[in-house]
Chain A
Amino acid sequence: MDTTPPHSDYGWLDDAALATGLGLVLLGLVVMGVFETLLGSAHFTERVPGLGVVVVHTSFTPRLRAHVIALGFLVLLAWGLSRLSRAIFVSLGARP
C-alpha cells in the first residue's frame, strides 16, 4: 500500500511551473498595472485627418494584460494536470 503523500516530491519542474504561472498572473495584474498607473491615463482621443476622432492607447491594453493573465492560469492548469497524471502513473506503477 502506497501511503506517500502526493505533495512530497516537488522538484525543479514544479518550481519552474509555479513561478512561471504565478509570475505571469502577477505580471499581467500588478507589474503592468503599476506601469499603467505611473504612465497616467491609458487612453486618449485624438483627431486624425481623414479618420475623425480615434482612441489612442499609450501603454498596455486590457486585452494584452488579460492574455498574459490567462496564460499564467493556463500554465498553472497544465502543472496541476501534470501533477495528477504523475500521481496516477506512480500509483499504477507501484501496484503488483
Chain B
Amino acid sequence: MIQQLQTTILGREYTLELSGTLTGYWLVFLRLLVGWWFLHEGLNKYVGPGRFRAGWFLEKTGTVVSPVLNAFAGGATEAAIELVVPAGEVLIGLGLILGVLTRTAAFFGAFMLFFFYFGSEHWRRGLVNGELMGLVLFVTIIVFGAGRVWGVDSYLETTDLVRNRPWLRYLLG
C-alpha cells in the first residue's frame, strides 16, 4: 500500500510517497540484521577464549572521548564496564531481534558505537567507517521505530499502560 506523507522541511512543503509494505519488510530486515550483529558480538565475548578486557580501550589517550573513557579506567569502574559491555550487547541484540523496547535498545547501541567510533586515535580507515555506519543504522532504527513491525512493541503499544502514557512510545517503537 502506498502512503502519502506530507511534511515541511525548513519551511518548504514536501509530499513523500512511501510503500508501507516495502518499508515494513525493510525495517524488520534491518532490525534482525543489526540485532544479530550485537547479539553475536555479546555472545562471542562470553564464549570466546579469554575474558573480555576493556582496559586497553578505557586507557586510550588523544581521542575525542578519552576524557570520559579515562575516568572509567582502572578499579571497580573498569570491572563494571567489562561486565556491562557484553551483557549490554546481548540485551541490545535480543531487544532488536524480538522488537522489545526497540528504541531504548537502539539508543544504547548508538551510545556504545558513539564511543567505539570517537574512540579512534588515528582514523586509519577514514572518518566514514564501519562504526559510523553502525551508529547510523541504530539511529535509523530509532527514527523509524522499527519494533512496530513484527515486534513485541507493536503489541505493547496497544496496551492501556502505553495508550495512557504516549511518551512511552519514545522508549518502545
Total inter-chain residue pairs, C-beta < 8 Å: 54
- CB <8 Å contact, A6 and B166: yes
What mask results when residues 10 to 52 of chain B are scored 1 for a CB within 8 Å of chain A, else 0?
A: 1100000000000000000000000000000000000000000
B163 CB-CB contact with A under 8 Å: yes
A73: chain B residues at CB < 8 Å are: 114, 135
- CB <8 Å contact, A84 and B118: no
- CB <8 Å contact, A70 and B64: yes
What mask results when residues 26 to 42 of chain A are scored 1 for a CB within 8 Å of chain B, else 0?
A: 00110001000000000
7 further A-B contacts with Cβ under 8 Å, apart from A62-B123, A87-B167, are: A6-B167, A6-B170, A15-B11, A29-B128, A33-B128, A84-B167, A84-B170
Q: Considering the complex of A and B, which 3 residue pairs feature the smallest CB-CB distances, nearest first? A: A87-B167, A62-B123, A88-B167
Q: Which residues of A contact B (CB under 8 A)?
A: 1-6, 15, 19, 28-29, 33, 62-63, 65-67, 69-70, 73, 76, 80, 83-84, 87-88, 90-91
Q: What are 24 A-B pairs at a CB distance below 8 A?
A: A1-B163, A1-B164, A2-B166, A3-B163, A6-B166, A6-B170, A15-B11, A28-B127, A29-B132, A33-B128, A63-B64, A65-B127, A66-B64, A66-B123, A67-B64, A69-B118, A69-B127, A70-B64, A70-B65, A70-B114, A76-B139, A84-B170, A91-B166, A91-B167
